[in-house]
């Protein structure tokens, strides 16, 4: 691997001049520049990014901490972050935290030691104190953390009300909710939206709340149980995977979707189009969320002012077969 000193020697100039050519700053004579570029070409010289990082304290790398890339909600988010940061020449270090605070802390430490320029965090557990100690730019994605960092989230509460109301409007009156893990802020927000809407509709009944863990099988079992114990004609699942679990349970009991039990999920991942019947869902602008977070982070890194710190993106109802009963209004 050729170094800048090799180039300098070959071109008959000092390293400073080569550096000036590379970075296009300072004064360099046209002739000299040509010679330097030739030397670079000839040696196939590529500047060492690590040396540059050490001096400049900026690595053109960002950290992205997600709970689990295998959760089908995240790949698209990650992809968006990668796409956008790449435009600005950043690479992405991917970290899976499994929602474990210990892993998050460890990763943050490692990322700092590697001089990442910024971090996008998808978490809801890290304490304000911990995170604000960070001296790197941070953007919080998908989970409201607190108000000191720029954030990008979707309207969980509103989406939940929308889903609940939709089930009501197609005729459901005994609407159950499969709630996600209680330690996940978004799951709680969605629950609140459901609860408030149900109360407003005068349909609230706490027996209709089913606890899920965002996984297929556990949800299916929980829903089987619930369907046996309570009368239910609509299910609002806290995410799409749990909606599939509900679908499986309903079908297993020989009930029809949506005629006997209508189902709506949450997130709008591609999976919802693959089931039979296709699942209605509250669709979040997943890619856009990632893209906006990435843009915010880049701006923050580059010291540009942010016009808007907190972004709450709208969600939208996507009605498919699982809530299309014809006209039972």
Partner DNA sequence: ATACTTTATGTAACCGGTTACATAAGATAG
Partner DNA sequence: CTATCTTATGTAACCGGTTACATAAAGTAT
Find the part of the chain contacting its own copies (CB under 8 A) among 105-113, 157-165, 181-189, 192-200: 105-113
220: closest CA among 195, 246, 258? 246
Q: Is residue 110 a contact point for its own copies (CB under 8 A)? A: yes
How far apart, in Å, do the first and last CA atoms of the chain sit?
A: 73
Contacts of 327 (CB under 8 A, 6+ apart): none
Q: Is residue 273 a contact point for its own copies (CB under 8 A)? A: yes
Q: Is residue 38 a contact point for DNA (CB under 7 A)? A: no
Taking a C-beta distance cutoff of 8 angstroms, is the pair 53, 59 a contact?
A: yes
**Phi, psi torsion values for 257, nearest 5 degrees:** -115, 125
In the stretch 61-100, what mask flags binding to its own copies with x, by CB under 8 A?
A: x------xxx-x-xxx-xx--xx-------xxxxxx----
Pairing of strands 280-283, 316-318: antiparallel
Contact with DNA (CB under 7 A) among 41, 42, 51, 169: 51
Interatomic CA distance for residues 191 and 328, integer angstroms: 26
Q: Which is nearer to DNA, 50 or 129 (CB)?
A: 50
Residue 72 contact among DNA, its own copies, none, beta carbon within 5 to 8 Å by kind: its own copies
Residue 275 contact among its own copies, DNA, none, beta carbon within 5 to 8 Å by kind: its own copies
Find the shortest distance in angstroms from Cβ 114 to DNA: 12
CA dist 272 → 230, 241, 243, 278 (Å): 26, 8, 9, 6
Query: DSSP character for 321?
Result: G
Sign of CA dihedral 126, 127, 130, 136: positive
Residue 271 contact among its own copies, DNA, none, beta carbon within 5 to 8 Å by kind: its own copies
Q: Which residues bind DNA (CB under 7 A)?
A: 1, 3-5, 12-17, 19-20, 22-23, 25-32, 45, 47-48, 51-52, 54-57
Binding residues for its own copies (CB under 8 A): 1, 46-51, 53-54, 59, 61, 68-70, 72, 74-76, 78-79, 82-83, 91-96, 109-115, 135, 216, 241, 244, 247-248, 251, 270-271, 273-276
């Amino acid at each position: 691997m050729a170094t800048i000193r090799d180039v300098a020697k070959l071109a008959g100039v000092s390293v400073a001049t080569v550096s000036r050519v590379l970075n296009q700053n300072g004064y360099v004579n046209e002739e000299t520049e040509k010679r330097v570029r030739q030397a670079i070409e000839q040696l196939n010289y590529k500047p060492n990014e690590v040396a540059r990082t050490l001096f400049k304290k900026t690595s053109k790398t960002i950290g992205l901490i997600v709970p689990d890339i295998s959760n089908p909600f995240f790949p698209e988010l990650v992809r968006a972050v990668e796409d956008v940061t790449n435009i600005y020449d950043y690479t992405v270090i991917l970290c899976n935290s499994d929602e474990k605070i210990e892993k998050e802390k460890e990763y943050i430490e490692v990322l700092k030691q590697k001089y990442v320029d910024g971090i996008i965090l998808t978490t809801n557990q890290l304490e304000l104190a911990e995170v604000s100690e960070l001296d790197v730019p941070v953007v919080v994605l998908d989970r409201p953390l607190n108000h000191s960092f720029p954030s990008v989230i979707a309207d969980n509460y509103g989406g939940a009300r929308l889903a609940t109301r939709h089930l009501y409007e197609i005729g459901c009156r005994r609407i159950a909710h499969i709630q996600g893990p209680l330690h996940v802020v978004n799951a709680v927000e969605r629950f609140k939206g459901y609860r408030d809407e149900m109360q407003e509709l005068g349909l609230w009944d706490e027996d209709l709340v089913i606890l899920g863990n965002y996984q297929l099988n556990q949800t299916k079992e929980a829903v089987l149980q619930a369907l046996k114990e309570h009368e239910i004609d609509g299910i609002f699942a806290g995410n799409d995977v749990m909606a599939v679990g509900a679908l499986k349970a309903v079908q297993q009991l020989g009930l029809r979707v949506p005629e006997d039990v209508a189902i709506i999920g949450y997130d709008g991942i591609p999976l919802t189009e693959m089931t039979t019947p296709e699942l209605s869902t509250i669709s979040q602008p997943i890619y856009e969320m990632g893209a906006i977070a990435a843009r915010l982070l880049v701006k923050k890194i580059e010291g540009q002012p942010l016009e808007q710190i907190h972004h709450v993106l709208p969600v939208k109802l996507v009605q498919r077969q699982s809530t299309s009963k014809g006209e039972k209004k």
